[in-house]
């Protein structure tokens, strides 16, 4: 049953009218006035198999964060309806002879939500639970409320439930499906709720279960006033609900003065109040004994709100009927939802809080935004839903042999809409994913042995398929782990060793000797972790090389933290307690228990029984340390005194040796000597000169050294030495368009194989540029998209828009090397349509600096710099375009230059070739589709940071896969022809037709190699009757196509013989001829005798008049030249 009764529809129309009127008023007044009326949940409850309506089924709606429970039951048609405040609810439906069903529903203000439920038939109710419910003190029967047999808290909403009310003697009974049940009281007012241990009732069993309830009389009153929390004005008509120890009590409604009164028992009382135009609130109090308690409640008006339009991302049209929800950001609180009108408009009031707003519809992506309480009043938030009308398809291809790889999972993620979808490649390695149109689609293949996986980035377009074949490398790095106990050095067997990279993973367990080998792709950042029972987990990051990669893993036993270290942190000079101070205990694996000193300087921290270091740090003080070696269960007092430290780290010297002529083969040694009581952190970075003004250079920071490459030692107390080496190997990006170019920092990865640059985006419609990020494919250098507050834009979306990068800069005196300041550096302005960024692992020749940053434990900071001049690199890169390729036409070919090498690093890969016009592709690998068969010579040009060039070529042979197009021009299909005829074929090809073969009834009769393509059938070659004429056209690649016609042959005499109709026709013709002869003889008698004539020649046989006339056969004196080959004997065909 799918439609409600007529009177229900009338109610629905009335509610819709009222909701529309309220919405119209809100829009007209342009202010948020309040939420609409309660919503309604309605529907039908039917049998899950037969569809028969279920009457008297119980429906309960319950909120999780408010004491709201709403009960109703179905009528004789299975219909139910219940009014509820706007919120999310758990809906439980059950009946005595059916299992319960649990679902969820969200209801907005004034909304009507249909929720139909189907209940499965319960198993045989062959068990019975019965008993008496009495007062525990007086033994008097309890005759109010119900006893419920439900399921335990760990398995709610499942299986069979039943309930029974008590009669006047307190007796209850219910039939049950044999199972375990939790017996509970429900709505037994005046008594403490009963909820005891689970009992089991078996088949055929009658279980007497008497219940004694502890009296908790409702002899206390909570009186109060409900008022506006902002103005203090009383609120009439507010609903106040109380819950005591899980029991929902009868509600009260505030009067005209806002007054309410509730009768409650003793215990912890939760109260909620809700009124039109206000957010519901929750408060609590404790009722100790009988008497009056005063509790006033303030309600927060719905003075805030969100409104906007929901639009189709492709057409821009408003979308009607879209549900927009507003949920509390942290799980509990005010909820509402609304449906967009015909123009796509929505308006949802709410109180001050933090929210997440969502809009979704079938066939579209989901829109999400966040609304924070510091945004005053009404917030406009327009939603864009992107239709899922695009497709990404392709094949998974083994990079080693080109075969297709089946069975791996492929995920597509749209970064713009947050949409994702997943599919497995089929048996042929093919995959196809439905996605929205977007410039920010990631297609990932999660690797599993023996494949590493891969990620590609594509743009999709409306109603189009984007083809992308994904090449999968084999796992060629072997991480050979040796897992041992960190304390004993003994091998650990059965330890799980897990290697994960951005797009794949591998796992293995260690053997009896502690050995474990996991595979990973060479050159990929790989996260290796290990864990075992009774040990702490271990993790590390490495970049494995091809082949063997030994790795030592030391697992620390998981010792109990049963050692208490306590003490005081004081000032070494004043002996005053220090607050705040942070205390950390280090030295046992990567565990770092920590604590904070309180106002007296006291701290307490728990750790394991192992040698460790206790370190305390506080702002303005040098750190203090102490070494400990506690026993299990021991309590140690460790008091630490911290010396005041008002001096930042002092750099006594910072040198680069050599400072001139630095190159990949002539690295510089960076050494800094620092005077500092307690050095906390030291960082080294490389700076590149960007501009010079008045002998002051502005340098761009290219990024910090990896911490493992920087050595920090303390040769003596108060002195530190920081050292590292630099050989020009620092990643840098080369940004360019068709006009400008610049070397620019590429400081962070936005995603695997991506790099991003911060900057400003501008177009003709903006009053000023807006902050944005340009995201590039780190492998090809291609700009993927620009992201800003207006959305995501691919290079083809707004090609004339511009992007200007910015970065932090350090200003250095070029004579002294002293740091004189800092600046934000704005780069050139680039056209988005042609912007790219090629990454280099080595820097170009020029002026550089090493940048040292020091932090001490007292919170002070000191920077320093030293200048470095690199020498130009004169060694050209070696280009390697890979082996020659053979591909089919109209399929994607991938050009791979990854085997190219350089002594420093290659910055750009450029592929050029002729395909009609000159084509240019960029990137270490590039894809192209050749539409025309032939051989193409592709030139790869690689360039390093100093402009040195190397070239190589690869030949791509494109196979012709397009068959010719052929038709039979003559005779036409169904034609009747004489015994002799000419078969004429019309054939074309994308290149050329080299041969047409002619067949009669499946037997080849000849070939023609030049146009026009035709073949003659001699008279008498075919028997009278039906025949099939076939032509097959071939091109030079062997592609072929065929066409055929069906004809009827009627021969001249000498053919197959004459039938009755032919004989009758022939006799008729003879009669006509005889008549003519007689007439001539008569005429001859009247005229003078003429000379004798030549003998009369028999007239040729003609086709019956019912047969269409066939084309005239060429004169026998001018036959078309016949092929030299002998014709087959087809007289009997």
> For position 527, which CATH number holds?
2.60.40.1120
**pLDDT for 1114 beyond 80:** no
**Which residue did the predictor score with more confidence, 1053 or 1?**
1053
Of 70, 90, 119, the domain-final residue: 119
| Of the candidates 926, 950, 949, 923, the residue with the CA atom closest to the CA atom of residue 837 | 923
Confidence of residue 192 (pLDDT cuts 50, 70, 90): very high
Residue 1074 domain-assigned?
no
Whether residue 1012 has a cis bond before it, omega within 30° of 0? yes
What is residue 361's DSSP assignment? -
In angstroms, the CA 122 to CA 173 distance is: 18
Mean pLDDT of 117-138: 96
Mean pLDDT of 799-812: 96
Mean pLDDT of 298-310: 93
> Within a 10 A sphere around the Cβ of 457, how many other Cβ atoms?
24
Of 472, 500, 535, the domain-final residue: 472
Q: What is the pLDDT of residue 151?
A: 80
Confidence of residue 1079 (pLDDT cuts 50, 70, 90): low
Whether residue 390 contacts residue 463, with contact meaning beta carbons closer than 8 Å, is answered with: yes
Confidence of residue 931 (pLDDT cuts 50, 70, 90): confident
Q: What is the pLDDT of residue 1061?
A: 43
Mean pLDDT of 308-321: 96
Question: 395 and 460 share a domain?
Answer: yes
Percent share of the chain, pLDDT over 70: 89
Q: What b/e string do you get for 295-308 counting C-beta neighbours within 10 Å, with b at 16 or more?
A: bebbbbbbbbbbbb
In angstroms, the CA 974 to CA 30 distance is: 77
**What proportions of the chain, in percent to the nearest 5, are helix, strand and coil?**
5, 50, 45
**pLDDT for 224 beyond 70:** yes
Q: How far is CA 279 from CA 36, 108, 253, 383, 598, in A?
A: 12, 13, 16, 25, 39
Residue 12: phi, psi to the nearest 5? Answer: -60, -45
Confidence of residue 614 (pLDDT cuts 50, 70, 90): very high
Question: 439 and 577 share a domain?
Answer: no
SS3 letters across 476-506: CEEEEEEEEECCCCCECCCCEEEEEECCEEE
Q: What is the pLDDT of residue 730?
A: 93
Q: What is the pLDDT of residue 926?
A: 87
Residue 167 domain-assigned?
yes
**pLDDT for 691 beyond 70:** yes
Q: What is the pLDDT of residue 68?
A: 92
Mean pLDDT of 539-561: 96
Question: 617 and 657 share a domain?
Answer: no
Mean pLDDT of 255-284: 94
Q: Are strands 668-675 and 719-726 parallel, antiparallel or unpaired?
A: antiparallel
Mean pLDDT of 912-934: 88
Q: What is the pLDDT of residue 1051?
A: 77
Rg (CA), the chain: 45
How many domains is the chain partitioned into structurally?
Answer: 11
Question: 549 and 578 share a domain?
Answer: no
Q: What is the pLDDT of residue 866?
A: 98
**pLDDT for 1087 beyond 60:** no
Q: What is the pLDDT of residue 1077?
A: 54
Strand partners, 885: 956
Mean pLDDT of 764-783: 94
Confidence of residue 1066 (pLDDT cuts 50, 70, 90): very low
> Residue 291, SS3?
strand
Mean pLDDT of 1004-1009: 94
> Within a 10 A sphere around the Cβ of 344, how many other Cβ atoms?
21
In angstroms, the CA 184 to CA 200 distance is: 14
At 1051, which CATH number? 2.60.40.10
Question: 58 and 194 share a domain?
Answer: no
Mean pLDDT of 979-993: 91
Domain limits at 520?
477-555
Whether residue 102 contacts residue 94, with contact meaning beta carbons closer than 8 Å, is answered with: no
Is pTM beyond 0.85? Reply is no
Q: Which of 78-92, 269-283, 948-962, 1102-1116 shows the lowest mean pLDDT across its residues?
A: 1102-1116
Q: What is the pLDDT of residue 32?
A: 31
| Of the candidates 1051, 1028, 1045, the residue with the CA atom closest to the CA atom of residue 1101 | 1051
Mean pLDDT of 920-947: 89
Question: 712 and 857 share a domain?
Answer: yes
Mean pLDDT of 411-429: 96
| Of the candidates 866, 812, 386, 500, the residue with the CA atom closest to the CA atom of residue 651 | 866
Q: What is the pLDDT of residue 925?
A: 86
Residue 114 domain-assigned?
yes
Conformational region of residue 740, where left means phi above 0, alpha means psi within -120 to 50, and beta covers everything else = beta
Q: What is the pLDDT of residue 1059?
A: 40
Q: What b/e string do you get for 137-156 counting C-beta neighbours within 10 Å, with b at 16 or more?
A: eeeeebeebbbbbbbeeeee
Tokens 């402009």 appear where?
947
Q: What is the pLDDT of residue 1112?
A: 38
Residue 284 domain-assigned?
yes
In angstroms, the CA 406 to CA 397 distance is: 9
- List the structure tokens of 946: 């100093």
Residue 422 domain-assigned?
yes
DSSP H or E segment with residue 1066: helix 1060-1086
**pLDDT for 1133 beyond 50:** no
Q: Which of 476-485, 949-958, 1109-1118 shows the lowest mean pLDDT across its residues?
A: 1109-1118
Residue 834 domain-assigned?
yes
Of 276, 299, 322, the domain-final residue: 299
Mean pLDDT of 294-318: 94
Confidence of residue 332 (pLDDT cuts 50, 70, 90): confident
Question: 533 and 491 share a domain?
Answer: yes
Strand partners, 557: 535
Highest mean predicted confidence (pLDDT) among 301-305, 563-567, 706-710, 969-973: 563-567
What is residue 207's DSSP assignment? E
Question: 29 and 78 share a domain?
Answer: yes
Question: 753 and 774 share a domain?
Answer: yes
DSSP code per residue over 585-649:
EE-BTTB--EEE--TTSEEEEEE-SS-EEEEEE-TTB--EEEEE-PPTT-EEE--EEE-B-----
Q: What is the pLDDT of residue 746?
A: 83
* Average of per-residue pLDDT values in the chain: 88
Question: 989 and 1115 share a domain?
Answer: yes
In angstroms, the CA 374 to CA 351 distance is: 12
Tokens 């890169």 appear where?
877
Tokens 């280009």 appear where?
879
Residue 193 domain-assigned?
yes
Q: What is the pLDDT of residue 1116?
A: 40
**Which residue did the predictor score with more confidence, 1019 or 1092?**
1019
Q: Which of 517-521, 522-526, 530-534, 565-569 shows the lowest mean pLDDT across its residues?
A: 522-526
Confidence of residue 330 (pLDDT cuts 50, 70, 90): confident
Question: 287 and 399 share a domain?
Answer: no
Using CB atoms within 10 A of its CB, is residue 424 exposed (0-12), middle (13-18) or buried (19+)?
exposed
SS3 letters across 680-720: EEEEEEEEEEEEEECCEEEEEEEEECCHHHCEEEEEECCEE
Question: 431 and 508 share a domain?
Answer: no
Mean pLDDT of 747-758: 84
**pLDDT for 24 beyond 50:** no
Confidence of residue 399 (pLDDT cuts 50, 70, 90): confident
**pLDDT tens, 886-912?**
988 888 888 999 899 988 888 889 999
Residue 1089 domain-assigned?
no
Q: What is the pLDDT of residue 510?
A: 97
Whether residue 865 contacts residue 810, with contact meaning beta carbons closer than 8 Å, is answered with: yes
């Amino acid at each position: 049953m799918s439609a409600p009764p007529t009177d229900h529809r009338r109610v629905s129309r009335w509610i819709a009218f009222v909701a529309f009127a309220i919405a119209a008023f809100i829009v007209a007044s342009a202010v948020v006035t309040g939420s609409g009326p309660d919503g309604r949940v309605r529907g039908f409850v039917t049998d899950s198999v037969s569809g028969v309506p279920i009457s008297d089924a119980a429906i309960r709606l319950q909120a999780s964060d408010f004491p709201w429970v709403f009960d109703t039951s179905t009528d004789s048609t299975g219909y139910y309806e219940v009014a509820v405040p706007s919120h999310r609810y758990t809906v439980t439906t059950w009946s005595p002879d059916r299992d319960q069903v649990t679902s969820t529903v969200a209801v907005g203000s004034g909304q009507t939500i249909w929720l139909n439920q189907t209940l499965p038939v319960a198993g045989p109710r062959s068990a019975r639970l019965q008993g008496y419910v009495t007062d525990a003190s007086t033994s008097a029967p309890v005759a109010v409320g119900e006893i419920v047999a439900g399921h335990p808290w760990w398995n709610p909403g499942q299986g069979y439930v039943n309930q029974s009310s008590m009669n006047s003697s307190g007796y209850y009974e219910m039939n049950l499906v044999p199972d375990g049940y939790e017996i509970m009281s429900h709505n037994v007012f005046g008594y403490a709720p009963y909820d005891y241990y689970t009992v089991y009732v078996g088949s055929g069993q009658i279980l007497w279960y008497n219940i004694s309830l502890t009296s908790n009389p409702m002899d206390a009153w909570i009186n109060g006033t409900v008022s506006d929390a902002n103005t203090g004005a009383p609120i009439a008509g507010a609903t106040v609900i109380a819950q005591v120890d899980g029991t929902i009590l009868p509600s009260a409604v505030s009067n005209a003065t806002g007054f309410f009164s509730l009768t409650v028992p003793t215990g912890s009382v939760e109260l909620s109040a809700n009124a039109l135009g206000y957010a519901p609130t929750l408060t609590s109090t404790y009722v100790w004994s009988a008497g009056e308690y005063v509790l006033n409640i303030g309600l927060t008006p719905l003075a805030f709100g969100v409104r906007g339009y929901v639009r189709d991302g492709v057409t821009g049209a408003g979308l009607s009927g879209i549900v927009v929800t507003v949920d509390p950001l942290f799980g509990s609180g005010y909820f509402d939802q609304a449906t967009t009108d015909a123009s796509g408009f929505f308006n949802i009031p709410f109180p001050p809080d933090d929210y997440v707003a969502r809009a979704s519809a079938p066939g579209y992506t989901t829109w999400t935004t966040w609304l924070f309480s510091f945004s005053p009043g009404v917030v406009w938030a327009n939603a864009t839903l992107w239709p899922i009308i695009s497709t990404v398809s392709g094949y998974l291809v083994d990079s080693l042999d080109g075969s297709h790889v089946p069975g791996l999972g492929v995920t597509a993620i749209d970064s713009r809409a947050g949409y994702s979808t997943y599919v497995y490649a089929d048996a042929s390695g093919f995959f196809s994913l439905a996605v929205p149109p977007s410039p920010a689609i990631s297609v990932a293949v999660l690797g599993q042995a023996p494949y590493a996986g891969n990620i590609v980035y594509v743009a999709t377009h409306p109603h189009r398929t984007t083809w992308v074949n994904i090449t999968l490398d084999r796992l060629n790095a072997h991480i050979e782990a040796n897992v041992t106990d960190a304390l004993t050095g003994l091998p650990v067997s059965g330890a799980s060793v897990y290697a994960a990279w951005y797009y794949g993973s591998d796992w293995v367990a260690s053997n009896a000797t502690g050995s474990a080998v996991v595979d990973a792709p060479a050159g990929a950042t790989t996260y290796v972790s290990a864990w075992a029972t009774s040990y702490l987990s271990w993790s590390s990051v490495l970049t494995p090389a091809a082949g063997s990669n030994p790795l030592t893993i030391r697992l620390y036993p998981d010792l109990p933290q049963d050692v208490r270290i306590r003490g005081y942190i004081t000032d070494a000079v004043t002996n005053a307690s220090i607050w705040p101070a942070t205390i950390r205990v280090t030295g046992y694996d990567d565990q770092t228990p920590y604590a904070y000193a309180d106002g007296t300087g006291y701290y307490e921290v728990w750790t394991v029984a192992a040698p460790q270091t206790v370190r305390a740090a506080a702002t303005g003080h040098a750190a203090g340390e102490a070494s400990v070696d506690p026993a299990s269960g021991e309590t140690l007092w460790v008091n630490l005194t911290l010396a005041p430290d008002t001096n930042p780290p002092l750099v006594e010297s910072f040198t680069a040796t050599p400072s001139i002529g630095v190159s990949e083969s002539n690295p510089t040694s960076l050494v800094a000597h620092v005077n500092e009581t307690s050095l906390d952190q030291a960082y080294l970075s490389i700076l590149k000169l960007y501009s010079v003004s008045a002998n002051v250079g502005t340098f761009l920071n290219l990024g910090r050294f990896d911490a493992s490459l920087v050595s920090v030692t303390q040769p003596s107390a108060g002195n530190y030495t920081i050292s590292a080496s630099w050989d020009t190997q620092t990643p840098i990006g080369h940004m360019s368009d068709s006009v400008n170019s610049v070397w620019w920092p590429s400081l962070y990865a936005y995603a695997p194989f991506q790099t991003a640059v911060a900057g400003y985006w501008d177009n003709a419609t903006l009053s000023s540029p807006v902050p944005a990020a340009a995201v590039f494919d780190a492998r090809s250098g291609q700009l993927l998209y620009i992201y800003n507050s207006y959305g995501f834009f691919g290079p083809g979306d707004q090609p004339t828009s511009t992007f200007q990068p910015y970065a932090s800069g350090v200003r250095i005196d070029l004579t002294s090397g002293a740091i004189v300041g800092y600046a934000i550096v704005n780069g050139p302005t680039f056209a988005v349509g042609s912007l790219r960024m090629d990454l280099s692992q080595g820097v170009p020749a020029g002026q550089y600096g090493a940048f040292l940053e020091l932090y001490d434990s007292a919170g002070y900071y000191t920077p320093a710099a030293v200048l470095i001049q690199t020498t130009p690199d004169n060694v050209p890169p070696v280009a390697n375009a890979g082996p020659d390729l053979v591909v089919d036409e109209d399929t994607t070919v991938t050009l791979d230059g990854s085997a190219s090498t350089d002594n420093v690093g290659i910055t750009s890969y450029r592929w050029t070739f002729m395909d009609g016009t000159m084509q240019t592709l960029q990137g270490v690998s590039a894809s192209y589709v050749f539409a025309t068969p032939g051989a193409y010579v592709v030139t790869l040009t690689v360039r390093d940071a100093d402009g040195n060039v190397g070239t190589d070529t690869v030949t791509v042979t494109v196979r012709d896969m397009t068959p010719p197009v052929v038709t039979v021009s003559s005779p036409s299909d169904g034609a009747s022809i004489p015994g002799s005829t000419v078969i004429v074929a019309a054939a074309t090809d994308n290149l050329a037709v080299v041969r047409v073969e002619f067949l009669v009834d499946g037997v080849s009769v000849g070939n023609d190699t030049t146009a026009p393509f035709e073949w003659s059938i001699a008279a008498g070659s075919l028997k009278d009757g039906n025949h099939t004429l076939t032509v097959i056209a071939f091109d030079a690649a062997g592609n072929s196509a065929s066409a055929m016609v069906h004809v009827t042959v009627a021969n001249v005499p000498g053919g197959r013989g004459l039938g009755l109709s032919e004989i009758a026709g022939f006799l008729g013709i003879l009669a006509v001829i005889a008549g003519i002869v007689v007439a001539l003889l008569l005429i001859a008698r009247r005229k003078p005798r003429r000379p004798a004539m030549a003998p009369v020649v028999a007239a040729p046989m003609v086709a019956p008049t019912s047969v269409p006339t066939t084309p005239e056969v060429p004169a026998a004196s001018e036959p078309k030249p016949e092929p030299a080959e002998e014709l087959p004997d087809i007289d009997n065909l």
